[in-house]
Amino acid sequence: METLTLERILEEHPLFRGMNEQHLRTLVESATVVRFEPGDVIFEEGEPAHHFYLIRTGKVALQLVSYRVEPFTLMTLEQGDIIGWSWLFPPYRWKFTARALDLIRAISLDGRSVCAKCNEDHDLGYELMKRFAQIIENRVEALSVHLVAVEK
Amino acid sequence: METLQSILSVHPFFNDLPTQHIETVTGCVSNVRFKAGDVIFHEGEEADHFYLIREGKVALRIHSERRGPLTILTLGEGDILGWSWLFPPYRWKFSARAIEETRAFAADGKCLREKAERDHDLGYELLKRFAHVVEERLEATRLQLLNVYQDQ
């Protein structure tokens, strides 16, 4: 019953739109339901990155935090958005901090297990990489716009 | 004489890519040359290529309403230039200008997209590599932003 529900949730998430049923069933095996309270740090810059999250409800601030620097919010993500891509590349550490602004209901996916599945099934790998490359691209754009705004 | 294929096969971007994929990619690649000052591509225009820089230097710039074009990154030998050909709306998000005489391989994005769409083994390999290139660009921009904040 739980598996069926999760599959339905994944199927309806914009990230997985257009993905076939077999791929969704494969991904469900790496998925867990998670929940964060307002103010919770979902992940922290510099920590090992082994997951990504599909936000179902609530708002998450993606922040750049560094010592000597006041944290600033690069973007706010919400229902239908994805947080986390550092699980894809060495050194597998978060480059940003994600903080829950409200009560967050999300699905967490295990990056190592998803990577292993992509390596076994390149059809799945292709579909997923296409989506993640675009997410990362979108973050580069946000960061560049921010850089242009603050540079003297 | 060195063939295009043998030159591509030793480029770090294609490291460990199976020979049959290198062959496929070679079919979409041509040799190009830019003079210092040439615009390689322009923000907002259709993005139909990416470039592997063999020699020279290229400035990646973004337009600021307030201060005109700002260089966000300088690329050189071995670097990959351009990924907007990967995602709709297939338009450049940045401008690129040669700041020295530059030799590069230009890969036809549409040709590669079609080949990747037909062959997901190739598609997975290419997308994985491009996602990484985009992520490296994100990291460079992030560090630059931290520098700006620390200087203030």
Nearest CA in chain A to B72: A144
Interstrand relation of B49-55 and B102-108 (parallel, antiparallel or unpaired)? antiparallel
Q: Do A122 and B83 touch (CB under 8 A)?
A: no
Q: E strands within A1-152?
A: 31-36, 41-43, 51-57, 60-66, 69-77, 82-83, 97-100, 104-110
Q: Do B121 and A136 touch (CB under 8 A)?
A: no
Mean pLDDT for B71-77 is 89
Q: Please give the DSSP secondary-structure letter assigned to residue B93.
A: S
Those residues of chain A that have pLDDT short of 50 are 1
Residues, chain B: 152
Give the burial string for B6-21 (b: 16+ CB within 10 Å, else e): ebbbeeebbeebeeeb
Q: Which strand ranges, in their side-by-side order, compose the sheet holding B102-108?
A: B29-34, B102-108, B49-55, B80-81
Flag whether pLDDT at B57 surpasses 90: yes
Taking only the tens place, the pLDDT of each residue in A102-121 is: 999 999 999 999 999 999 99
Q: Do B135 and A147 touch (CB under 8 A)?
A: no
Residues of chain B with C-beta less than 8 angstroms from the C-beta of A134:
86-87
User: Quick one: which H or E segment has residue B97?
Assistant: strand B95-98
| pLDDT value of residue A1 | 47
What percentage of chain B carries pLDDT values higher than 70?
99
From A84-88, B20-24, B59-63, the region with the lowest mean pLDDT: B59-63
Structural contact between residues A45 and A98, judged by C-beta atoms closer than 8 angstroms: no
How far, in Å, CA of A143 to CA of B126, rounded?
24
Q: Please, what are the domains in chain B?
A: 4-151 (2.60.120.10)
Q: Do B141 and A125 touch (CB under 8 A)?
A: no
CA trace torsion B7, B9, B14, B16 (10° rounding): -160
| pLDDT value of residue B1 | 55
Nearest CA in chain B to A67: B150
| pLDDT value of residue A4 | 56
| pLDDT value of residue B65 | 76
A138, amino acid identity: N
- Pull the structure tokens for residue B18: 């199976």
Specify the number of domains making up chain A: 1
More confident residue, B132 or B62: B132
Flag whether pLDDT at B13 surpasses 80: yes
| pLDDT value of residue A113 | 96
Q: Do B124 and A126 touch (CB under 8 A)?
A: yes
- Pull the structure tokens for residue A101: 């602004």
Residues of chain A with C-beta less than 8 angstroms from the C-beta of B62:
144-145, 148
Taking only the tens place, the pLDDT of each residue in B120-134 is: 999 999 999 999 999
Flag whether pLDDT at B63 surpasses 90: no
How far, in Å, CA of B121 to CA of B119, rounded?
5
Give the ipTM of the model, two decimals please. Answer: 0.88
How far, in Å, CA of A31 to CA of A139, rounded?
24
Nearest CA in chain B to A139: B138
| pLDDT value of residue A64 | 87
| pLDDT value of residue B70 | 82
How far, in Å, CA of B78 to CA of B51, rounded?
10
What does the DSSP assignment read for B24-87? HHHTTEEEEEE-TT-EEE-TTSB--EEEEEEES-EEEEEEETTTEEEEEEEE-TT-EE--GGGS
Range of the domain at A33: 2-150
CATH, residue A120: 2.60.120.10
Taking only the tens place, the pLDDT of each residue in B94-119 is: 899 999 999 999 999 999 999 999 99
